[in-house]
Chains A and B, each alone.
Chain A
Amino acid sequence: MNKFLLPLLFLLLFILEGVFVEFMPSKYSDSMKLVPHFLLVAILLLSIFGSKKHGIIYGLVFGLLFDIVYTEVIGIYLFIYPLASYLASKMMRVLHANIVIASITTLLGVAFVEVGVYELNRIIHITDLTFIDFIQIRFIPTILLNLAFIIIVVYPLKRLFEKISEELGSD
């Protein structure tokens, strides 16, 4: 398998997030915020099916990239992406690495990041949304969107990451 496949896949997902929000229909966009976490889903699945080390490294690199390119507040995603992938891989050590359990763990990871980023943004006054509004406007739609994304990609990504981690292991 090509060495560049994994970074390219993550870069594509990273840019896809930015393009996805650009084309969101405007009718519902203020009362319902759909936040794509495609990159995070892939990172979490990598740390579950691939290796924990790779998950954390990709979390660090793409978290930093996300901070620099999109939010312009360096630190938040740099910190929370690796933490989420560490926690996910820790959880999977206890649980059986079944595809359903992995999907639920990934979704929990997305929820963890959403709430974590909300709390951090409240601390630094980027947002003044109340927690109830946050749950209604952002959290529920976001979770549903990312659940749909997880259901679509979990099987192909599982196959891909297992293959890649085998190859890396044999090196």
Chain B
Amino acid sequence: MPQFFLNKRLIVLLVSIIILVALIGFSLRDRTELTWPEKFVKDTVGWVQFLVSKPAHSVAGLFQNLEDLQNTYHENKELKTRVEQIVNLEKQVQLLDKDNKELRVILDKKETLRDFKPLQATVIGRNPDLWQEMMIIDKGKTNGIKKNMAVIGSNGSLLGKIKYVNQFSSTVQLLSSADPKNQVSAIIQGDKNVFGLVDGYDKEKRLLVKRIPSDAIIKKGQLVITSGLGEVFPQGLLIGKVEEVQSDQYGLTQTAYVKPGADFYDIENVMVVKGTMMQQQAAANLELKGGGQ
């Protein structure tokens, strides 16, 4: 059909669909880093975003302050009741902390999976199409940020992890993101610690902790924390509280529905944390490998 090929618009459309598919395929493959043009564009735009978000943050902060002022009375009442409990807890924590230190000295064990170094960062933008839950922060490679580091909110709960790092900015993938690759190894605290994987987020604002053994007994209200076993996350970052447990359709594993400790919206400041023990272990492993060769 010669007429078909003469239609310029149709050819343009077809060619652009081919380019579309090629580009999507290119960006969806399992890549650990962005290409340098992408990094360059992201850093340049990141600089402008930084300029715009600074005044935006201060204006939003003003409104936040007004809102806080309205709730002061209620909050004060509630907090007063909690203060007494906290005093008791503090005493206990001090004792336990001292015990722990002494026992560690006896065992000659200095680092734990729990140790981490925090790095403060400001959110300068968020993915506005809201399909993938991602944020851009103003710290990058020059500040020592690496892929897969944990990101926590201002209240200390886990928000997500670093997806890509550029020179002066980086992308954070939130836990609420629907990416199947976005998994975090977790512990459900109880008399006996139970392991699971945080994977998914449902419509009722709950995180799904999957692959829990079917014989594990999990109660409502138990805390879920990071296990520190996979990748570079430190141990003991709060993920949330168990709300409901269901066994899966074959009865082989259970899924816990967890109310996240972090608020995935309205985030201004975050901390990027790095487990110090993992880092040292990795360095030690590298040395061992180097020595072997």
Are A71 and B34 within 8 A (Cβ)? no
Are A25 and B265 within 8 A (Cβ)? yes
* A21 CB, nearest partner CB in chain B, Å: 5
Is B229 an interface residue, CB under 8 A from the partner? no
Is B171 an interface residue, CB under 8 A from the partner? yes
Are B131 and A126 within 8 A (Cβ)? yes
* Bound CA–CA A22/B22 (angstroms): 31
Knowing A18-B128, A19-B52, the reply to whether A72 touches B24 (Cβ < 8 A) is: no
B178: chain A residues within 8 A (beta carbon): 126-128
* A27 CB, nearest partner CB in chain B, Å: 9
- Interface stretch, picked from A29-37, A44-52, A103-111, is A29-37
* A68 CB, nearest partner CB in chain B, Å: 5
Are B264 and A72 within 8 A (Cβ)? no
Return the chain B residue nearest A18 by Cβ: B125
Is B56 an interface residue, CB under 8 A from the partner? yes
* Bound CA–CA A122/B282 (angstroms): 38
Are B127 and A30 within 8 A (Cβ)? no
Partner of B127, one of A23, A65, A71: A71
Are A75 and B27 within 8 A (Cβ)? yes
A24: chain B residues within 8 A (beta carbon): 265-266
Is B53 an interface residue, CB under 8 A from the partner? yes
How many chain A residues have a CB neighbour from B under 8 Å?
46
Interface residues on B, range: 35 or more
Are A70 and B128 within 8 A (Cβ)? yes
Partner of A20, one of B128, B131, B205: B128
Are A72 and B128 within 8 A (Cβ)? no
Is B126 an interface residue, CB under 8 A from the partner? yes
Is B28 an interface residue, CB under 8 A from the partner? yes
* Bound CA–CA A71/B34 (angstroms): 12
Are A74 and B49 within 8 A (Cβ)? no
Instruction: Tell me the residues in window 11-26 of chain B with beta carbons closer than 8 Å to chain A beta carbons.
Output: 16-17, 19-24, 26
* A46 CB, nearest partner CB in chain B, Å: 19
A1: chain B residues within 8 A (beta carbon): none
Partner of B48, one of A11, A20, A36, A78: A11
A69: chain B residues within 8 A (beta carbon): 41-42, 45, 125, 136
Are B131 and A121 within 8 A (Cβ)? yes
The dominant DSSP class at the B interface is: mixed
B179: chain A residues within 8 A (beta carbon): 126
Return the chain B residue nearest A75 by Cβ: B23
B112: chain A residues within 8 A (beta carbon): none
A120: chain B residues within 8 A (beta carbon): 24
Are B129 and A117 within 8 A (Cβ)? yes
Is A166 an interface residue, CB under 8 A from the partner? no
Is B134 an interface residue, CB under 8 A from the partner? yes
Return the chain A residue nearest B45 by Cβ: A69
* Bound CA–CA A69/B134 (angstroms): 11
Knowing A124-B24, A126-B178, the reply to whether A23 touches B266 (Cβ < 8 A) is: yes
Is A99 an interface residue, CB under 8 A from the partner? no
Is B100 an interface residue, CB under 8 A from the partner? no
Are A68 and B125 within 8 A (Cβ)? no
Are A72 and B49 within 8 A (Cβ)? no
* B9 CB, nearest partner CB in chain A, Å: 9
* A30 CB, nearest partner CB in chain B, Å: 5
* Bound CA–CA A73/B132 (angstroms): 10
Knowing A22-B123, A79-B16, A124-B24, the reply to whether A33 touches B130 (Cβ < 8 A) is: yes
Partner of A18, one of B22, B23, B60, B136: B136
Q: Which residues of B contact A (CB under 8 A)?
A: 16-17, 19-24, 26-28, 34, 38, 41-42, 45, 48-49, 52-53, 56, 60, 123-132, 134-136, 163-164, 171, 178-180, 203-205, 263-268
Q: Could you list 17 examples of A-B contacts with CB < 8 Å?
A: A11-B48, A15-B49, A18-B49, A22-B123, A23-B60, A23-B266, A30-B203, A33-B130, A68-B38, A69-B125, A71-B129, A71-B132, A71-B134, A72-B163, A74-B38, A124-B24, A124-B28
